[in-house]
Amino acid sequence: MSGMLSNLQILTVAPVFNVQLIIDGLLIGAVFALAAYGMALVWGVMNIINITQGEFVVLGGYVAVEFAAHGIHPLFAVPVAAVFLYVVGWLVYRGVIFRVVDQDLFISLLATFGISILLQQLMNTVFGADVRVANAHLDSWQILGGMVTVSQVKVVSFVTCVALGLGLMWFLKASRLGQAIRATAQNARAARVLGINTDHVYATTYALNAAICGTAGALIAMAYTIHPYIGLPYTLRSFMIVIVAGLGNLGGVILSGVGLGIAENYAGFILGAQFQLAFVFLLLVAVLVVRNWCLQRQRRYLK
């Protein structure tokens, strides 16, 4: 308790620490937003909440880790992770997801939960249970008289996320496939009537989401750390961001992603790093409860 108060005091006495927390939160928030964008895509188009999201992120991270371990610069791993995860996502869709797409939501929730448990231990067996990082050998800048450290690799990951987000937006807006995806999201049956192969659209959407997660994961492995069982927090973060932002609202996703990043950094600093994840999960519960209360006043509810 006294530790928390003294941490708060540091923030008021030395406001420069706030700058540090906000910059760090901003940089990681972009990665959260990217993964959340993928979840919103699958949720909106296929009506599936993908619990495997976090495992896709971690798997992408391991691609970068393996690159670094073999002496290749992990930045090259980013496109490779995307392609690899695209294939994984496509296989998962063809193996399992296509059977549960039009079923009860709880069925698909449990099915993706099962895949996530499977992938967790598979990664544990293949890559080991250690906490790993892909060393990108990049420096950091010292700004504001050396009080604030900005790591270059985090900036690189931030820029990549923004570029990728813009690219995705363009893809969904302009390309034929993107238009087909949006049409399917609006009304799958009408899209089928008009000659769109919705099964193909679903497969592409799911694989695309996995690729997005893989990219985010490769960036996370460079700038932060990964281990086989860290997937669930990323899933729940994505879910929370989508809830706050709403489906199909890219601006909202970015804002709430960055907001979550900053809030999490503050929580880690004030409450102590051991409570940072607890804060994330409790924030999810709080967000849901508050959203539901607001709806209940209009005699509606989250469903």
Partner 1 sequence: MTGGTRVAVWGALLALGLAAPFLFPAYLQQIATLWLFVVFALTWDLVGGQMGYNSFGNVVFVGVGMYGCAVTQIGLFYSVGAYTAARGGGTEFVFNMPQYLGGLATGVVAGGLLAVVTALVLGSLVLGMRGHYFAICTLGLGVAAGELAAGWNWIGAGSGMTAPTAPDALDVNSFYYYLCFILAVVTFFATRWLLSTRFGLAINAIRDDEDKAEAMGLPTTRLKVAAWMFSGFFLGLAGGIYGNMNRFIDPNDLAFAGSTIGVWMVLMAILGGKGTLWGPVIGAAVFQVFKELFWTYLLGWQRVALGLLIVLIVVFFPQGILGYLRERFPALFGHTIDPDPAGASEPEEARP
Tokens standing for residue 138: 């990049």
Q: Cα–Cα distance between 129 and 127 in angstroms, integer?
A: 7
Residue from 26, 117, 133, 150 binding partner 1 (CB under 8 A)? 117
Residue from 23, 63, 85, 115 binding partner 1 (CB under 8 A)? 115
Question: x/- binding map, residues 11-50, to partner 1, per CB under 8 A?
Answer: --------------------------------------x-
As a whole number of angstroms, the longest Cα–Cα distance in the chain is 65
Residue from 91, 109, 143, 263 binding partner 1 (CB under 8 A)? 109
53 counts as binding partner 1 under rule CB under 8 A: no
Q: Which of 74, 109, 100 is nearest to 220 (CA)?
A: 74
DSSP designation for 132: B
83 counts as binding partner 1 under rule CB under 8 A: no
Residue from 59, 68, 78, 100 binding partner 1 (CB under 8 A)? 100
Q: Cα–Cα distance between 149 and 141 in angstroms, integer?
A: 6
- How far apart are CB 227 and partner 1 at their closest, in Å? 13
Q: Which of 211, 168, 224 is nearest to 28 (CA)?
A: 224
DSSP code string of 174-231: HSHHHHHHHHHHH-HHHHHHTT--HHHHHHHHHHHHHHHHHHHHHHHHHHS-B-TT-H
Query: Which residue lies nearer to partner 1 by CB, 49 or 180?
Result: 49
What is the total count of residues that contact partner 1 (CB under 8 A)?
43
Query: Which residue lies nearer to partner 1 by CB, 7 or 179?
Result: 7
138 counts as binding partner 1 under rule CB under 8 A: no
CA 166 to chain centre: 16
Query: Which residue lies nearer to partner 1 by CB, 70 or 303?
Result: 303
Query: Which residue lies nearer to partner 1 by CB, 144 or 282?
Result: 282
Q: What ranges in the chain are assigned the alpha helix state H?
A: 2-13, 16-46, 53-69, 77-92, 98-100, 105-127, 152-174, 176-186, 188-193, 198-223, 231-245, 250-271, 276-296
Q: Cα–Cα distance between 185 and 206 in angstroms, integer?
A: 13
Q: Cα angle at 218 between 95 and 245, to 5 degrees? A: 80
- How far apart are CB 184 and partner 1 at their closest, in Å? 20
Report whether 98 contacts 202 (CB < 8 A): yes
Question: Site residues for partner 1, window 202-231 (CB under 8 A)?
Answer: none
- How far apart are CB 250 and partner 1 at their closest, in Å? 22
Q: Cα–Cα distance between 112 and 264 in angstroms, integer?
A: 26
Residue from 106, 129, 141, 187 binding partner 1 (CB under 8 A)? 106
Question: x/- binding map, residues 272-301, to partner 1, per CB under 8 A?
Answer: x-xx-xx--xx-xx--xx--xx--x----x
110 counts as binding partner 1 under rule CB under 8 A: yes
Query: Which residue lies nearer to partner 1 by CB, 96 or 250?
Result: 96
Question: x/- binding map, residues 231-260, to partner 1, per CB under 8 A?
Answer: -x---x--x---------------------
Q: Which of 161, 163, 140, 144 is nearest to 152 (CA)?
A: 140
Residues within the interface to partner 1 (CB under 8 A)? 49, 96, 99-100, 103-107, 109-111, 113-122, 125, 232, 236, 239, 272, 274-275, 277-278, 281-282, 284-285, 288-289, 292-293, 296, 301-303
